[in-house]
Amino acid sequence: MKHPVVDLLRELIRVPSCNPDGPAGTEHTGEGGLATWLDRFLTAAGAHVTLEEVRPGRPNLIARFAPVDGRPRVLLGPHLDTVGVAGMTIDPFAADLRDGRVWGRGASDTKGPMAAMICGWLEHTGRLADAPVAVDFVAFMGEESGQWGSRDFARRHGGRYRFAIVGEPTSMRAVRETKGSLWATLRARGKAAHSSQPQRGENALLKLAGALVALDGHLAGTLDRFAHPRMGAPTANLGTFHSGTRPNIVPDLAEAEIDIRTTPELAAAGGALGLLEEAIAALGLPVEVADPRENPPMETPEDHPDVRLLAGHGCEPAWAPWFSDAAHLAAADVPAVCLGPGHIDQAHTADEFIEVAALEDGAATFARIIKSLIAPPDGATLRP
């Protein structure tokens, strides 16, 4: 007989929730449908569910058994959205079960961790309302783009929580350190002209291309100064380049997007945006920075009591080069880790899957973790 977590994951995969902020590959986008499905499911299980709209039709979901009454709180927080499905080699929403795996978009990132968290949580429905520590389930929108959901939740509710366990495919390691990121557009402007007389124009493409080569070389020699003892040095990647409309027009605009992965050391020195702008000024490059979006790195102490509690359940502390909602919670003074079944190598892939055995083990581990979190101190009794 299948473990209930498998059935739940397959239901979650069948509800499309592709992030609409980038290419989705389907007309079925946004988190609203999945939030509504979870609202019905968790309400039927006895939870009090609230949907808080962050962007039109795109809510966070907050589910509680314990009322907000001042007791310490811990949250379980996966994200509702997935990346797009264009180019997938399997049916992204069929949720096939074969070869000991569940297949589909989100199976690993992050509906698998979500299903494991929910099943572990619901094993304790009879105790969650009266436990001395409240454990809430929170599902964030927008993680795969700007982390709007976790930012909004931290602003509204962060002060109520002592700890956050954010759902990500970490092979059940407690990722307590992650790099941050800066995504920004680099823009060069020129003057349009007919290509038969290019000397009458100013080619923005050539200006930007030369600037990018110089900037890449400069950053390669600068970022090493901000190395972290475990995560290593920050990195920079120039990922996109756009310019021109026709080959017979000298382009008057060129844009490229850069991704700088940051360390706590770089953040403490002023952050990646400041470093980027200083480099452009020092080199005298003919580019401007537009639409910068910076996400903080995360460094939750290994000796935090809840990190040690997780380690006691076999979830050893770890680090990762990526960033997540956890960093925005940590930046709002909610210590956080990322934790969940599945492997990050399967995230965003054309044939995304999660191993059933890992999914079931994850659900069982979350049940044990939650039991430890809500257990009363020695000699104490539960609330009447």
Question: Is a pLDDT exceeding 50 seen at residue 380?
Answer: no
The answer, yes or no, to whether residue 379 has pLDDT greater than 90, is no
Rounded distance, CA 171 to CA 158, Å?
A: 27
What is the C-alpha separation between 286 and 200, in angstroms, rounded?
19
At 378 the pLDDT is 54
Give the pLDDT confidence of 212-239 residue by residue, as tens digits.
Answer: 999 999 999 999 999 999 999 999 999 9
Band (pLDDT 50/70/90 cuts) for residue 2 is very low
pLDDT at 90: 97
* 174-192 residue pLDDT tens: 999 999 999 999 999 999 9
Instruction: Using the predicted structure, report yes or no on whether residue 18 has a pLDDT greater than 90.
Output: yes
141-162: average pLDDT: 96
Q: What is the pLDDT of residues 75-86, one digit of tens each?
A: 999 999 999 999
Contact between 73 and 162 under an 8 Å Cβ cutoff? The reply is yes
**Mean pLDDT over all residues of the chain?**
95
Q: Is domain 180-295 in CATH 3.30.70.360, yes or no?
A: yes
Residue 219 is predicted with a pLDDT of 95
Angle at 31 between CA 28 and CA 36, to 5 degrees: 105
Can you tell me the mean pLDDT for 45-73? 97
Provide the pLDDT for residue 22: 86
100 pLDDT band, cuts 50/70/90, is: very high
Q: pLDDT per residue over 127-138, tens digit each? A: 999 999 999 999
What is the model's pLDDT at position 384? 32
Instruction: Give pLDDT tens digits for 247-271.
Output: 999 999 999 999 999 999 999 999 9
Which tokens is 337 given? 């880790």
Write out 142-201 in H/E/C secondary structure. CCCCCCHHHHHHHHHHHHHEEEEEEECCCCCCEEEEECEEEEEEEEEECECEECCCHHHC
Percent of the chain with pLDDT over 70: 97
Q: pTM of this prediction?
A: 0.91
CATH topology of domain 4-178+297-374: Aminopeptidase (3.40.630)
The answer to whether domain 4-178+297-374 and domain 180-295 are alike in fold is no
Domain range annotation of the chain? 4-178+297-374, 180-295
